[in-house]
Amino acid sequence: MPRSRPASDPISFHKPTGQYYVTRAGKRLYLGADRDAAMEKYHRLALGLATVESPHVSVLITTKELANRFIAAQKANWGPTGTTLRGYENWLGRFLADHPRLRAEDLTVEMFASWKLSLRRREYSPTSINHFLKAVRAMYVFAEETGLLENSPRLRRVKNERCPPVGSKEKPLYTKGELQKLIAGADDQLRVMLLLGLNCGFGPKDLEDLSSGDIDADRVTLPRSKTGVCQTFRLWPDTLQALNQLEEQRAVLIARMAKRGRHRSDGGHVFMTKYWRPWSKDAIAEQFRKLCKKVGVPCYGFYRLRHCASTAMSLVATPHVHRKFMRHSQLQQQVTYTHTPDAEVDAAVKKAQAKLIGSPSEASGSDQERAEVA
């Protein structure tokens, strides 16, 4: 049970605003910065001899407190562990790190525009910059709608970054030789991660979520946390062999440590660090960057392996099979992940010629037949 305040000290002090307050019906009523005046106002409130103005008149909160209240209120919409919630925490965390101790009402449109320019100078991608801007705008809309701010700055005056249309700029993919170098130069755990990324189109978050219960014989079943779409994948022989070797090595290591009186367990996780902690998606991305530097391969990020898998699947499967492989909820989503090489387009153009007017050899043969008839 929460501890009630003693009757001799019924008011609380709020450090960020420097004011005393009392809570009534789940709302903070700020009583001012002077303690004696705040106590007098409290007693007058208790006797019904005074009223407190609307919170937005006297409440002065920091952007940090506003962000916390915004996230807490939105958990009902996003869920306590949803990817959207984590995204907003990260985006607002960037804003708070760049604006320490900023009061919520002190943010101006000019400051917001200057922050956007600073993000551009730090070479954030247009998509990331737009995520940051969207999160701060949503937080201030929440502040105005809940009465925490009387007038929210018109942050929509600062426009989003212009993003290139999908497909207008092709992303580089790893070549077959580069993928072979990465697999050959990786340690046992990272090799399994690479194979799963290519075999099943897994990204770092999928590998973080993967548990031993998701693997059955030569198949792995895993719902994608972003879309909730679940799919069962048949493992390549190389992937299955690498997984079995990793499991055997883990069992030997656990038994060896048990003999030394040190009991360890993987807790059902497929990938564990040397400190016996599950791998996080950030740790996987960092180890992949180190591997690329080690083997001399340009690093486009671990997630680009998913693009490689999507592109290869698009060349051998129908669109609906491709969608199931990628665990997308809608067919058009896979356009972002597919980068068809020009050589494949050229080969398709030649096949289309044979379908439409016949191959060059067929055309020359028909000309010769007409000449003989003449």
Rg over CA atoms, the chain: 30
- Strand 12-14 with 19-24, pairing: antiparallel
CATH number for position 117: 1.10.150.130
133, 267: one domain: no
DSSP string, 155-190: GGGSPPPPPPPTTSSPPP---HHHHHHHHHHS-HHH
Q: Please state the domain count of the chain.
A: 3
Same-domain check for residues 112 and 222:
no
Residue 360 lies in a domain: no
355 in any annotated domain: no
Residue 214 to residue 211: CA distance in whole angstroms: 6
Q: Which domain holds residue 131?
A: 63-157
Q: DSSP labels for 309-371?
A: HHHHHHHHS-HHHHHHHHT-SSGGGGGTT----HHHHHHHHHHHHHHHT--HHHHHHHHHHHH
Do 310 and 253 have their domain in common?
yes
Q: Domain for residue 165, yes or no?
A: no
d(CA 224, CA 229): 6
Q: What is the CATH number of the domain that holds 311?
A: 1.10.443.10
Q: What is the C-alpha to C-alpha distance for residues 159 and 134, in angstroms, rounded to an integer?
A: 10
Q: In the prediction, which pLDDT does 343 show? A: 85
Do 324 and 208 have their domain in common? yes
Mean pLDDT, the chain, rounded, equals 85
Question: 236 and 124 in one domain?
Answer: no
Q: pLDDT digit string (tens) for 207-251? A: 999 999 999 989 999 998 877 889 999 999 999 999 999 999 999
Distance, in Å, from the CA atom of 311 to the CA atom of 322, rounded to the nearest integer, reads: 9
71 shares a domain with 54 = no
pLDDT cut 70: percent of the chain above it: 87
Following DSSP, what letter does each residue of 214-233 receive, concatenated?
Answer: GEETTEEEEE-TTT--EEEE
In a domain, 345, yes or no: no
Inside any domain, residue 340: no
Question: Span 175-194, mean pLDDT?
Answer: 95
pTM of the model: 0.62
- Angle of helix 176-185 relative to helix 188-200, nearest 10 degrees, comes to 150
Q: Are residues 42 and 118 in the same domain?
A: no
Residue 370, in any domain of the structure: no
Same domain, 192 and 321: yes
In the structure, what pLDDT confidence band is assigned to residue 56 with cuts at 50, 70 and 90?
A: very low
**Judgement on whether residues 126 and 201 belong to the same structural domain of the protein:** no
Facing residues of 30 across strands?
21
Instruction: Give domain status of residue 6, yes or no.
Output: no
For the stretch 246-293, pLDDT in tens is: 999 999 999 998 998 888 888 889 999 988 899 988 899 999 999 999
Residues 33 and 97 in one domain: no
Tell me: do 202 and 305 sit in the same domain.
yes
Task: Report the alpha-carbon distance of residue 43 to residue 27 in Å, rounded.
Answer: 18
- Is residue 259 one of the residues assigned to a domain? yes
Q: 329 and 191, same structural domain? A: yes
